[in-house]
Each structure stands twice: as structure tokens, then as C-alpha cells.
Amino acid sequence: MIEKYYSRMTLDFQTNKKIAEEVAIIPSKRLRNKIAGFATHLMKRIQRGPVRGISLKLQEEERERRMDFVPDESAIKTDLIEVDKETIDLLQSLNMGQLPGVVKQETTNVGFGKPQPVGGYAGPRRS
């Protein structure tokens, strides 16, 4: 109902109830009110963004516009990829050791500086 009568539907329950009465054969007042209430709920969700399961022409055009967008520069830089020794060994075992742009990462000393104290707030435990 929303897909077909989107232009007539509003964010107002009373209006949607009248539209539901006009466009559909609904056997009871209770069911009509439930349909109108859910349609109003979906219209509010559509205002915030695309809703799964509802295909509106406006949403399809927006999605196509986003899908067709190609950035000027890729976010992934592949001209130089630094990997560790284990990754180089793995690539060589897979016969992919000569990939362009893959270089071994320079090793850095992680444990330099003053050693960290052991223990929590009260200091180290005593034996």
C-alpha cells in the first residue's frame, strides 16, 4: 500500500486511515486501524532513511546514485605494503613472494626504556 500510494500517505494516522479505507477492502475497523497505524509508523521510518522491504522510486534512484560514485583516489594504497617476516614467509609458501609493492617491515625495538613496575596500587607482592 505504501509503495503504490506513497504520494497520498502522510505522517498523520487519521489521514492514512481514510486512505486505507478508500484504496483497500478491509473487513474490520480494528484491522483497518492496525494497517493505518503501521503505515504511519513506516512513513516516519522512511523520512529518516531507506526502509528494508519497501522499494520506492526515490530510494532506488538514491541508491543507484551512491552505487555509481567512483572516488578520484582509492582509499587503499597498494603501491607500498609493509608486512612482517611471517607474512613474507607465508606469501613465499603460496608462491606469491614476488608481489609488487610488498616489502618487509623494518623491525623496531618495542621494549626500550625504563622497565614498568610490577604489581598494582600497593606495589609488588612480598613473599
pLDDT in tens, 46-69: 888 777 877 677 677 767 777 777
Q: Is the pLDDT of residue 110 over 90?
A: no
Domains of the chain by residue range: 13-68, 76-106
pLDDT in tens, 7-43: 888 999 999 999 999 999 999 999 999 999 999 998 8
Give the C-alpha separation, 74 to 78, whole Å: 9
Residue-level pLDDT at 120? 62
CA angle, residues 57, 60, 61, in degrees to nearest 5? 85
Residue-level pLDDT at 52? 80
Residue-level pLDDT at 60? 73
pTM, 2 dp = 0.46
Percent of the chain with pLDDT over 70: 80
- Other C-beta atoms closer than 10 Å to the C-beta of 17 total 18
Residue 111: band (very low, low, confident or very high) from pLDDT cuts 50, 70, 90? low
Spatial CB neighbours of 33, under 8 Å, sequence gap ≥ 6: 17
Query: Is the sign of the CA dihedral 114, 120, 122, 124 positive or negative?
Result: negative
